[in-house]
Amino acid sequence: MRAFLALPLDGSARLAAARVQDAWRLVWPGEAVGWVVPENFHLTLRFLGEIPEDAIASIALGLQAAVTGFEPIPLTLARATAFPRRDRPSVLVLEAPVPDALADLVDRVDASLRPSGLGPRDRPFRAHLTLGRVKTRGPLGPREIRPFPEPESVRWLADRVVLFRSFTDPSGARYVALHEERLREAALAPLALSRTASCKVKSSPSHEPGGQADPCTRESSREDRISAASRLSDGIRQ
């Protein structure tokens, strides 16, 4: 089966990318390009190619270890271009700069695949979202080169890595999620518990001499605010 690992877009990012795609449709006629349906938008971390079905379990286990310690990664797709070149387009894409956290995640994912028998990637990683695949291959003449849109920035918080299986149907590509690992928010609970314990054994009043607030009171208030913000963020992403 054909499979790949990817970062899915959230709903708002998918809508923003679809608007860029619509702008491109105006200058690239439908018969020249096979457009990706927005439901399939994703940023590929690693294309795995053909893999045996019995490799899924080991890939999932390696992926679980690979994402440990990673928080959600803010990403921005901001440059419309074509691979391999603008005058020889094969795919029309939105490209993203690669922050350190994403580069580290890619390295960890690559390393996690070795026990499953998958070798190194065959080309350097380039963060991009494919919007369409050009049907006519080869270099284009000056009159055939279409303008590239100036896209709005497509931003989202990448918070999960998904192993997808790819099917090729008469109507186009279809992806099925086989396994998912979430990038977790940094854990505050152990630190908060240790501070709470130290506060409970204190017998001093809530304010120190001189009118300064008790450090435990200040820390508890701060942790409450962080906890409330985290719950709000979790609610937005769900």
Catalytic annotation, residues: 42, 128
Residue 183's nearest CA partner among 148, 210, 158, 215 is 158
User: 24 phi and psi, to 5 degrees?
Assistant: -70, -35
Bridge partners of residue 43, in order along the sequence? 7, 129
Q: Is the peptide bond before 124 cis (omega within 30 degrees of 0)?
A: no
Q: Concatenated DSSP letters for 113-136? A: HGGGT----SS----EEEEEEESS
Q: Please tell me whether residue 197 adopts helix, strand or coil conformation.
A: helix
Helix (H) or strand (E) holding 217: helix 215-237
Count CB neighbours of 135 within 10 A. Answer: 11
Helix, strand, coil percent content, the chain, rounded in steps of 5: 35, 30, 35
DSSP classification of residue 213: B
Q: Where are the beta strands (DSSP E) in 96-218?
A: 128-134, 154-158, 160-169, 172-182
Q: Find the farthest-apart pair of alpha carbons in the chain and give their distance in angstroms, rounded.
A: 82
